Structure 1
Amino acid sequence: MKYNELINKMTLEEKASLMSGKDFWQTEDIQRFGINNIFLADGPHGIRKQAEAADHLGLNESLPATCFPTAATVANSWNQQLMETMGEYLGIEAVAQKVNVLLGPGINMKRSPLAGRNFEYFSEDPYLAGKMAAGMIRGIQSHGISACVKHFAVNNQEERRMVIDTIVDERTLREIYLTAFEIAIKEGNSKTVMSAYNMLNGVHTNENIHLMQEILREEWNYQGVVVTDWGGSNDRVAGLLAGNELEMPTTAGETDQEIIEAVKSGKIKEEVLDVSVDRLLDLIFTTEQVYSKPYKQEFDIEEHHRVAQKVAEESIVLLKNESHILPLKKGVKAAIIGDFAKNARYQGAGSSIVNPTKLDQTLDVLGESGFAIVGYEPGYERYGKQNRKKVEEACELAKKSEVILLYIGLDEATEAEGLDRPNAMIPQNQIHLLDALHRVNPNIIAILSCGSVVEMPWIDKVKGLLHAYLSGQAGAKAVLRILSGETNPSGKLAETYPLRYEDTPAYRYFPGKEVSVEYREGLFIGYRYYDTANINVRFPFGYGLSYTTFEYSDLEVGKDGVSFSITNTGNRDGSEIAQLYVGCQSGSIFRPNKELKGFVKVFLCEGEKKVVNIPFDDKTFRYFNVQTNKWEVEEADYSVMIGASITDIKLKEPLFVKGTGAPLPYEEEKLQTYYSGKINQVGIDEFEALIGRKVPVSTWDRTKLLGYNDTIAQCQYAKGGLARLAFRLLSFSYWLLKKIGKRELANLIMMSVYHMPFRGVARMTGGAINMPMLDGILMIVNGQFLKGVRHLVKERKKLARRTKGKK
């Protein structure tokens, strides 16, 4: 241990006090040892340090910061160096605001297009997500502070996120859901990891010895700090035993006392606590060094805004360009239609929301485009309400123009932390507008703004489609530069766009509605499913158009990697993203047809040719063998492929790879669906054969009393009449708020109340309600009204006396 001498001087009480926050965002301090509190702030794509009273839900405004494009957007750049640069600028702003730990990046896999937090995550592919995250982490931590990679692990739905039990087989866990974390931690050297809210195979992630000790600490040799997601601690002592150093936010000393009692009783050795204290002290002391000398408390707003624009320009994806309608010529008569042109949709909602230093709106920066603008009409109501008059006015404007720039997408209330989307469609009123516009002027270029996959049955009615994703505070100008041709689009999709949601691999298994969610699709998420099962899609993984063309040639495959040439055969300078895919030709172990194992982004001037090298690494040929419980290599012939997308393979060569000689992990006859790759209807018997045990009952036991890990939603069948009434009032409030257009407030109820477990009432109130008081609440919920009230009042008085005694 680094700080053994210091730790030996500390009392048990002092050591325990460091294991929980001082308040909502700060750690505890011990001034007699010079241990300062450090500040943790949200920040996947911008710093969210709240100026006034702190809250996790983002209700209070934060200090101004640059709002960079979200992870779902920058993943489309496929540019690790750009990601590192963005991280560096995030680090500058974090230091300026005296933040020690920036809570990002988020790298959970995009298992389903409907997962409400997809805008915060990079990709459906773990290799791409891990590489992009590692770059961002290196950039942030280059300034001496810490990044915090999250949410560890398999946190892939928002509904019941604090209690849902994720049932997943070990191979899928390792190859799909942990590989991105492995890359981010080993290559990015993240100093902090955030544990997820959910359970994993029956155990809360921050208490999961297999996840936290055997994999994270022992296999990956992680030496940093693990922090809970806010309010995500269940059993504090079990979490500490698993190596979860820091619980956030504060519990006003309640869980500190649990640790103290556990040490005194012998339930946990003090040496275990000492190791956790040592890791936390290292985080505190190393991230405080930057503030021990003069540091910049301001940053160049304009420079950071320009960087945000550059990131957006590299990340926006051109999806359709019929008859080369783009780029638009100077002086073209253009109608601007769509509410998002006036009020940009540029970031997500929830804990990642950033208060931008400035915000480009399309209508304000049109003068730089060179277009002859004939006017603007909103065309639709932002939150989905039909408005015939707005459609008619938009159509009248469209008749006067040569081309329509139509700004459409998803609103802020549809994509938000805490709830999943109900469907994969953009609002019907926007589609209705598009239909009407097409009848009067077919020259429509749609600019799509959303952070997650949407269906596009309307795509035949647009000639051009530019996907801006959520491109940050400078996104409007970035879009116009691509439309005008000042910037050649170079983004490619980091996720697949299916023809319809029903085609997605997790369609029948997402989300888990009650106790658990079963990952029956196994390895076959995203392109791994579509490509293997030969499912047609709207746009494949890795797809994106350019204003120039590229030719691939001269593939050479060696034992250490591949080399090939790319030539810009068009008449514009541009960047191409070349992708390395590998496919095993043996059928002995089920696998996807192709898997991404490398990529590179290459800039080429008009007519230029470059030789490109992509090395193999330890992940190129490996698979996780559930018999040996190790990474192995199957001895076989492999196809090594270079593609412009998963479906557009340009070059291909075979390669024989010597294996590790491991026994075959599966009996094929028991897993025939997985061997076929057509996993859209996996039966319970086959899934149990895959995971090697019985699947737990996935529905609530409506006969039992409600406890700490049951949710407010379960009050619908509580024994206490008052609890059932409260549930009905809550449900009615949600319905009414949506009906009257207060969708963000309705979402807040769903996120912060409806799916909250009862223990969260104690964990998220900063000690205002403790666990003994919660016991009284549960008595009321379970039908013991008078006894519960008496208990609640008694414990409230006890807490008040203790609080008064500390002052």
Structure 2
Amino acid sequence: MTDLPEASALTLRQQVALLSGSDAWNTQPLPEAGVPSCALSDGPHGLRFQADAGDRLGVSGSEPSTCFPTAVTVASAWDEELAERIGHALAVEARAHGVDVVLGPGLNIKRHPLCGRNFEYFSEDPLLSGRLAAAMVNGLQRHGVGACLKHYAVNNQESHRYVVDAVVDERTLRELYLSGFEYAVKTSRPWTVMAAYNSVNGHPATQHRRLITGILREEWGFDGLVMSDWAATNDRVAAVAAGMDLEMPGSKGLFDREVLKAVASRRLPAELVTASAQRVLDLVARSARTRGPAIPVDEHDALARRAAAAGTVLLTNDGILPLAPGTRVALIGAFADQPRYQGSGSSLVNPTRISTARAEFARRGIEVAYAPGYDPNDSHADPDLIAEAVAAARSCDVAVVLAGLPPVYESEGFDRTDLGLPGQHDELVTAVCAANPRTVVALSNGAPVLMPWKDAPAAILESYLGGQAGGAALVDVLYGDAEPGGRLAETFPASLDDVAAEPYFPGEPRQVQYREGLYVGYRHDTTALFPFGHGLGYTTFDWSDVAAVRDTVTLTVTNTGTRAGSDVVQVYLHDRTGVVARPRRSLAGFAKVHLAAGQSTTVTIDVPERAYAFYDVVAREWRTPAGEFDLEIARSSADVVATVTVTVSDGVSTAAEPAGTPPIAVTDEQFRRRLGRPLPRPRSVRPFTRDSTLDEVATTQLGRLFKSALWRAAPIDEATRDNPVELAMYEHSLAELPLRAAAIFSGGKLRWRTIDLLLRLFNSFGRR
């Protein structure tokens, strides 16, 4: 659409009105100026479209859409073409519902395996995250639907996500937490980027001028729109000054008066308001705002099924898989009947259909001995269910145990408390393996788990969260109709002691310190339960003729087995120059290869110059050390097949780094050196401000009454009250919700004068 007015032709009030949504999911129209709205919708792994204004925390009432595997599963395929196909399918479904911008993908780094939202993110590695995110963005936008990269930036936990300040040194920020965003922005040019809830080094992400204007726009060349996460706006005057354009959801003009006054007093340059309003108009002009054809349900369900298999990781296998025809199977685990196929929270999709493993066995005419083994919702201790499962296992040739994390264990809104499976699941696997050593364990979970029984099963499949077709995909994999094509996109630690960030996660309610620096996941280089990049298959591959120059690795890959399959060639870089302290290895490139039995191909993997570079915090630029580097061609971060040494002669021989700082800054002084400034103090709870959380003000009697009133007024239907996962999300979100966000979510019912009056009253009360 090209006949929209320029922002400069609108009045200041009209420009300011454009900078906030009209409701939960639409931008503000200006009918008098001929400006329509455009529609936004959640959708990292499936469209969560609400036909009406929707509930603002976003967990109910959505239209049926294909529930694709979550990002953790898609990432495990290491397949950019597959990610782009899923992005294209999401765009088709968005057009079917009249949605113009899909809020995804999410590519925050998996700093710690206990983050409750890790299922929505790709990887612990920025290169893999950035490449897969870019592919998904391309799939969406080539079909005329905008993407929204989120959550920018350093958003790596759910605990106190609305108010926590992530304190991170500049080099770690650049090399780890911004690198994936940088790649996706430069490569796929997303229409929009979402600013996160949290603060970064003392500044809220929504009003972080250096992150939004200095880095995102000026350094990376981003020319799209920056919106807030839902109710993430702290101070809209400061946000507009920083370069954030759109406040979401609509707050019924909550901030408009402050913005107008700031322009009138010249605290906020009018041209910045005009620039943000123009970016909103540009987004509207890009948007189709029309409905496309209906969702091709069968086609997209088939794609979801292929993607689920492609992202399934075969962790161990003594040869039992694929199962031979005619094998008598004991199917154990309630997830076979009530599958755990997606995460909980704002990404929750209302699927077009659901396949289950038990139903797929029946569809194939395979009779199984079924035993639930556990309650699928809370998995409380029940020895009778285990005894029943043991009896079924003994009666059959093979036992297939579906275990994992029940929905209440991981969700948006709160973090996990430990790495373990429910005790009932561990006891079930142990007992069934003892009864029948020919046991296959298939896991359904959104993040790493411990496996104290690791050596007991004949095979372990990590199915992750496979989407609506995950049950059928699992049976496809079990019988070899589809290959488990996945490789881990994250490290499975042997214990929390092996996670470098563990002592610092999730930090204090108001501050989390990233003292582990660059040593996240496989970069920490400890012994893992299963390493980053690990995964087996149903055929064998030989790698030969390995050669490398500075920017390219080539090799011949041959399928030496008797069936078609896929392999992932990973290239890691080991800096031997000693110019700057770095992790032992970092991913520099990769390639997914599909080959028929006996087929060979030459694989070429680009090694970008950035792989060699580090961010020099003094020079404020990327620099490459001079000296020798090893390019390690590997099957995982712990399984190097070949090494080629290359020499860089045109790099730098020195770097100005803080002296005496070890890889992990254990002491305050070490972290201060790395930061290059004094350690910031967390914000004090008192006096209360608009940024105070409901739990904080609830330390007063009046605050407790106010919190109770908001809970009673929350848009929670009976279905949500009966759902322990959604209820837990609401409870955690409400407890940690700042007053400013409560005002935004109120849809105009709470104005600043009411909030400020309450604050005066809260501050007049002592702790009670």
Letter paired with 2:411: A
Given that 1:182 and 1:220 are in contact with CA atoms closer than 8 Å, whether structure 2 keeps it comes out as yes
Aligned to 1:796: none
Given that 1:762 and 1:774 are in contact with CA atoms closer than 8 Å, whether structure 2 keeps it comes out as yes
Identity between Structure 1 and Structure 2 (%): 38
Measure, in 2, the Cα distance between the counterparts of 1:8 and 1:193: 24
Letter paired with 1:765: S
Aligned to 2:742: 761
Q: Give the secondary-structure state (helix, strand or coil) at the position aligned to 2:233.
A: coil
**Matching of residues 220-231 of structure 1 within 5 Å:** 220-231=220-231
Residue 280 of structure 2 is aligned to residue 297 of structure 1: no
Letter paired with 1:497: F
Deviation, 1:331, is 1.0
The one of 329, 348, 366 aligned to 1:334: 329
Deviation, 1:709, is 1.3
Letter paired with 1:777: L
Deviation, 1:253, is 1.1
Deviation, 1:584, is 0.9
Letter paired with 1:494: A
The 10-residue stretch of structure 1 (298-307 or 602-611) with the greater mean CA deviation from structure 2? 602-611
TM-score (norm 2): 0.95
1:612-654 deviations in Å (ceiling 9; x for gaps)? 1011223221110011000111111100111111111111111
Measure, in 2, the Cα distance between the counterparts of 1:61 and 1:728: 25
Aligned to 1:219: 219
Given that 1:16 and 1:257 are in contact with CA atoms closer than 8 Å, whether structure 2 keeps it comes out as no
Aligned to 1:693: 677
Measure, in 2, the Cα distance between the counterparts of 1:781 and 1:573: 67
The one of 473, 480, 485 aligned to 1:485: 480
Deviation, 1:432, is 1.7
The 10-residue stretch of structure 1 (592-601 or 367-376) with the greater mean CA deviation from structure 2? 367-376
Given that 1:370 and 1:484 are in contact with CA atoms closer than 8 Å, whether structure 2 keeps it comes out as no
Aligned to 1:569: 560
Q: Give the secondary-structure state (helix, strand or coil) at the position aligned to 2:345.
A: coil
1:141-198 deviations in Å (ceiling 9; x for gaps)? 1111200000000001111101100000000000000011011111111010000000
**Matching of residues 420-499 of structure 1 within 5 Å:** 420-499=415-494
Letter paired with 2:731: M
**Matching of residues 186-585 of structure 1 within 5 Å:** 186-288=186-288, 291=290, 295-322=291-318, 324-369=319-364, 371-380=366-375, 382-530=377-525, 535-585=526-576
Q: Give the secondary-structure state (helix, strand or coil) at the position aligned to 1:644.
A: strand
Measure, in 1, the Cα distance between the counterparts of 2:314 and 2:628: 36
Deviation, 1:714, is 1.8
- Do the aligned partners of residues 301 and 226 (structure 1) sit closer, same or farther apart at CA in structure 2, a change above 3 Å counting? same
The one of 609, 629, 639 aligned to 2:620: 629
Q: Give the secondary-structure state (helix, strand or coil) at the position aligned to 2:657.
A: coil
Measure, in 2, the Cα distance between the counterparts of 1:383 and 1:715: 32
Aligned to 2:57: 57
Letter paired with 1:308: A
The one of 736, 743, 753 aligned to 1:772: 753
Given that 2:254 and 2:744 are in contact with CA atoms closer than 8 Å, whether structure 1 keeps it comes out as no
Letter paired with 2:609: D
Q: List 4+ stretches of structure 1 deviating above 6 A.
A: 2-5, 725-731
The one of 733, 739, 764 aligned to 1:752: 733
Aligned to 2:652: 661
Measure, in 1, the Cα distance between the counterparts of 2:329 and 2:42: 39
Measure, in 2, the Cα distance between the counterparts of 1:667 and 1:199: 24
Deviation, 1:590, is 0.4
- Do the aligned partners of residues 662 and 226 (structure 1) sit closer, same or farther apart at CA in structure 2, a change above 3 Å counting? farther
Q: Give the secondary-structure state (helix, strand or coil) at the position aligned to 2:609.
A: coil
Given that 1:334 and 1:402 are in contact with CA atoms closer than 8 Å, whether structure 2 keeps it comes out as yes
TM-score (norm 1): 0.91
The 10-residue stretch of structure 1 (27-36 or 380-389) with the greater mean CA deviation from structure 2? 380-389
Letter paired with 2:693: T
Aligned to 1:17: 17
Deviation, 1:751, is 2.8
Measure, in 2, the Cα distance between the counterparts of 1:764 and 1:601: 44
Letter paired with 2:562: N
Deviation, 1:10, is 1.1
Aligned to 1:130: 130
Measure, in 2, the Cα distance between the counterparts of 1:714 and 1:746: 21
Given that 1:154 and 1:177 are in contact with CA atoms closer than 8 Å, whether structure 2 keeps it comes out as yes
The 10-residue stretch of structure 1 (446-455 or 748-757) with the greater mean CA deviation from structure 2? 748-757
Given that 2:658 and 2:673 are in contact with CA atoms closer than 8 Å, whether structure 1 keeps it comes out as no
The 10-residue stretch of structure 1 (75-84 or 458-467) with the greater mean CA deviation from structure 2? 458-467
Residue 767 of structure 2 is aligned to residue 783 of structure 1: no
Letter paired with 1:300: P
Aligned to 1:723: 703
Aligned to 1:801: none
- Paired residues, what number? 757
Measure, in 2, the Cα distance between the counterparts of 1:57 and 1:335: 41
- Do the aligned partners of residues 361 and 252 (structure 1) sit closer, same or farther apart at CA in structure 2, a change above 3 Å counting? same
Aligned to 2:157: 157
Measure, in 1, the Cα distance between the counterparts of 2:695 and 2:452: 35
1:420-439 deviations in Å (ceiling 9; x for gaps)? 00111111111122222233
Aligned to 2:587: 596
Measure, in 1, the Cα distance between the counterparts of 2:105 and 2:738: 26
Deviation, 1:742, is 6.3
Deviation, 1:32, is 2.7
Deviation, 1:725, is 7.2
The 10-residue stretch of structure 1 (506-515 or 722-731) with the greater mean CA deviation from structure 2? 722-731
Q: Give the secondary-structure state (helix, strand or coil) at the position aligned to 2:409.
A: coil
Letter paired with 1:778: L
The one of 698, 705, 708 aligned to 2:690: 708
Deviation, 1:224, is 0.3
Letter paired with 2:474: V
State the superposition RMSD in angstroms. Answer: 2.1
Measure, in 1, the Cα distance between the counterparts of 2:551 and 2:702: 67
- Do the aligned partners of residues 236 and 772 (structure 1) sit closer, same or farther apart at CA in structure 2, a change above 3 Å counting? same
Q: Give the secondary-structure state (helix, strand or coil) at the position aligned to 1:459.
A: coil
Deviation, 1:489, is 1.8
Measure, in 2, the Cα distance between the counterparts of 1:742 and 1:368: 30
1:181-234 deviations in Å (ceiling 9; x for gaps)? 011111111010000000000000111111111100110011000000000000
Letter paired with 1:301: V
- Do the aligned partners of residues 29 and 353 (structure 1) sit closer, same or farther apart at CA in structure 2, a change above 3 Å counting? same
Aligned to 1:645: 636
Letter paired with 2:607: F
- Do the aligned partners of residues 398 and 691 (structure 1) sit closer, same or farther apart at CA in structure 2, a change above 3 Å counting? same
Measure, in 2, the Cα distance between the counterparts of 1:407 and 1:650: 33
- Do the aligned partners of residues 264 and 701 (structure 1) sit closer, same or farther apart at CA in structure 2, a change above 3 Å counting? closer
Letter paired with 2:762: V
Letter paired with 1:337: I
